[in-house]
C-alpha cells in the first residue's frame, strides 16, 4: 500500500463521516480505537521525579479508519491522534492493555478537540485506481458535499 498525507483537518473528516452516517448511507466501514502506550521519561528531574523512581510518560493514541464498502480497489482513510497524558508510575491506576474499540462519537469526544495532541490524516491505497476513487471521495469531503 502507498500512503499519502492529506491536507485537511481531522474535524472536517469526522464531521463529514458523521453526516454521511446520519443520512443513512452505508458507503463506508468505520473502525475507531483508543490505546494507551507508555514511553520512558527522559527528563525525570524536569518531570518532578528523582532518578530512582520508575516512571513513564503515558500516551493516548486514537485511530480512526474508514474504507469503502464493497469496492475491489481498496483505500483506507486514517486519522491518528497521539496525546501525552503525562507522567505515570506503576503504582498509579492501571490502564487497558492493547487497543479498545470505541465508536465514532467517542472518538470525536476524546480526540477531536483543540490542543488534543498531534494529529495525522492520511490515506493508504492499493492501486492507482483506488487512488482515483479516493480522490473523488476526498473532493466531496473537502467541499462538504455528500455523494450518491
Instruction: Kindly state whether residue 47 falls inside one of the protein's structural domains.
Output: no
Question: Are the CB atoms for 111 and 62 separated by under 8 Å?
Answer: yes
Per the structure, the count of domains in the chain is 1
Instruction: Kindly state whether residue 75 falls inside one of the protein's structural domains.
Output: yes
Instruction: Kindly state whether residue 126 falls inside one of the protein's structural domains.
Output: yes
Q: How far is CA 124 from CA 11, 13, 130, in A?
A: 19, 15, 9
Task: Identify the burial level of 119 via C-beta atoms within 10 angstroms of its C-beta, where 0-12 means exposed, 13-18 middle and 19 or more buried.
Answer: middle
pLDDT tier at 40, thresholds 50, 70, 90: confident
> Which residue range is the domain that position 69 belongs to?
2-42+53-142
Instruction: Kindly state whether residue 71 falls inside one of the protein's structural domains.
Output: yes
Instruction: Kindly state whether residue 106 falls inside one of the protein's structural domains.
Output: yes
Question: Are the CB atoms for 32 and 107 separated by under 8 Å?
Answer: yes
> Can you tell me the distance from the alpha carbon of 47 to that of 23, in angstroms, rounded to the nearest whole number?
48
Instruction: Kindly state whether residue 89 falls inside one of the protein's structural domains.
Output: yes
Q: What is the mean pLDDT of the chain?
A: 84
Instruction: Kindly state whether residue 21 falls inside one of the protein's structural domains.
Output: yes
Instruction: Kindly state whether residue 119 falls inside one of the protein's structural domains.
Output: yes
Check whether 28 has a pLDDT greater than 70. Answer: yes
What confidence tens digit (pLDDT) does each residue in 78-133 have?
999 999 887 655 556 677 778 999 999 999 999 998 778 899 999 999 999 999 99
Q: Considering the entire predicted model, what is its pTM?
A: 0.82
Q: Which position has the higher pLDDT, 92 or 72?
A: 72
**pLDDT above 90: percentage of residues in the chain:** 52
Angle between helix axes 10-22 and 128-142 (nearest 10 degrees) is 90
Residue 45 confidence (pLDDT) = 55
| Helix/strand/coil for 133 | helix
Amino acid at each position: 500500500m502507498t500512503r499519502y498525507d492529506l491536507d485537511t483537518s481531522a474535524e472536517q473528516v469526522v464531521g463529514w463521516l458523521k453526516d454521511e452516517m446520519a443520512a443513512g448511507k452505508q458507503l463506508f466501514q468505520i473502525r475507531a480505537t483508543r490505546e494507551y502506550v507508555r514511553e520512558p521519561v527522559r527528563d525525570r528531574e524536569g518531570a518532578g521525579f528523582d532518578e530512582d523512581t520508575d516512571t513513564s510518560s503515558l500516551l493516548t493514541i486514537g485511530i480512526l479508519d474508514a474504507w469503502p464498502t464493497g469496492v475491489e480497489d481498496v483505500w483506507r482513510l486514517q486519522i491518528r491522534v497521539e496525546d501525552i497524558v503525562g507522567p505515570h508510575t506503576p503504582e498509579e491506576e492501571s490502564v487497558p492493555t492493547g487497543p479498545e474499540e470505541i465508536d465514532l462519537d467517542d472518538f470525536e469526544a476524546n480526540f477531536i478537540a483543540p490542543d488534543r495532541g498531534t494529529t495525522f490524516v492520511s490515506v493508504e491505497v492499493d492501486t492507482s485506481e483506488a487512488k482515483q476513487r479516493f480522490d473523488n471521495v476526498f473532493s466531496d469531503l473537502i467541499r462538504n458535499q455528500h455523494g450518491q
